[in-house]
Amino acid sequence: MLWIASAFGLASGAWYSHRYAWWRPTVNYAHPRILMYHMVREPIPGARFNKMRVPPSTFEAQLAYLQENHWQFATMKDWAEGSLNDRSVILTFDDGFADNYEQALPLLEKYNACATLYLVVYRHENDWAVRKKCYHNNRELVKESKLSDDQVREMLSSGRIELGSHTLTHPDLRRLSPEEKQEELHQSKTLLEETFGQAITSIAYPFGLFDERDQDLAQSLGYRTAVTTSQGIDPLISCPFALRRIKVSGKEGMHAFKLRLRTGVRGWHS
Ligand SMILES: [Zn+2]
């Protein structure tokens, strides 16, 4: 019996080690952590994109943990201005879901936190999920309420939200002509600035997909930072037009969150 127990122990230890890669070294706390969120809401049973839905109670536990452990909340603007301290954490929200206003904003206020919101200009009735994979055609994300312009204005007037661009239509930038790329990056910046009266200096590439021309274009159009969906933690001296982020998954608990915060990734692969 004993050998069965120890074999089981070894196997589960290996599984744990592979899944959580706890042995990965801690990334220097001088390097800011950029966290990537989408929705703050309860999961939908059986839905495909529940990873993108972080329950409000989980989000609150994460904010409480960050506050208790002396993380400094900051925005991408702080990154660009070089005004980050050690243990800086930048919360980012992609796409513009209405729950960012309904659920996330009150919690940001409660924990005296701030965030960068990457807004798609044409976000209503826009089924961008099918652009990445054509079988993502059940309109799951289209059915989710998106932020109205008034909700965005209220978020900005809280003083806790920096607005960034997530392009006009959420395309796969790599497939666009130079003219189309220019329009997505330039027009979104201009329209958001006109509509909301805040300078737009950061962009999130849709689906995290981009090529070198997009980086150059972002820089030439006056963006100062650009974030991807590649996982990891970059030092402040990195190229600011391909910054990695830490994915926050609605399907993971605090253990994975703490590991990602410390190492940039959760396990062996991701
Ligand atoms: Zn997106």
Percent of the chain whose pLDDT exceeds 70: 89
Calculate the CA 251 to chain-centre distance.
15
Distance 24 CA to ligand 1 centre (A): 29
What separation in Å is there between the alpha carbon of 112 and the centre of ligand 1? 26
Distance, first Cα to last Cα, the chain: 35
- What tokens appear for 221 in the block? 């159009």
pLDDT of residue 270: 47
Instruction: Kindly state whether residue 270 falls inside one of the protein's structural domains.
Output: no
- The string of pLDDT tens digits covering residues 1-38 is 555 666 666 666 666 666 666 667 899 999 999 999 99
Tell me, what's the pLDDT at 6?
Answer: 67
CATH number of the domain that residue 223 is part of? 3.20.20.370
Ligand 1 centroid–CA 10 distance in Å is 40
CA of 190 to the centre of ligand 1 (A): 19
Residue 221 placed within a domain: yes
Q: What is the pLDDT of residues 50-80, one digit of tens each?
A: 999 999 999 999 999 999 999 999 999 999 9
Q: How far is the CA of 49 from the centre of ligand 1 (A)?
A: 12
* Model pLDDT, residue 137: 72
List, for the chain, all residue ranges whose pLDDT scores fall below the cut of 50.
270
27 inside domain: yes
Prediction pTM value: 0.92
Q: How far is the CA of 207 from the centre of ligand 1 (A)?
A: 6
Residue 160: CA atoms inside 13 Å, Cβ hemisphere, count? Answer: 21
Q: What is the number of domains present in the chain?
A: 1
User: Residue 239: what pLDDT?
Assistant: 87
Q: Is residue 268 part of a domain?
A: no
Angle between helices 254-263 and 56-68 (to 10 degrees): 50
The Å distance, Cα 17 to ligand 1 centre, comes to 31
Residue 161 structural domain: 2-263
Is residue 269 a part of any domain in this protein? Answer: no
pLDDT at 91: 98
Q: Using CA atoms, how far apart are residues 165 and 200, in angstroms rounded to an integer?
A: 7
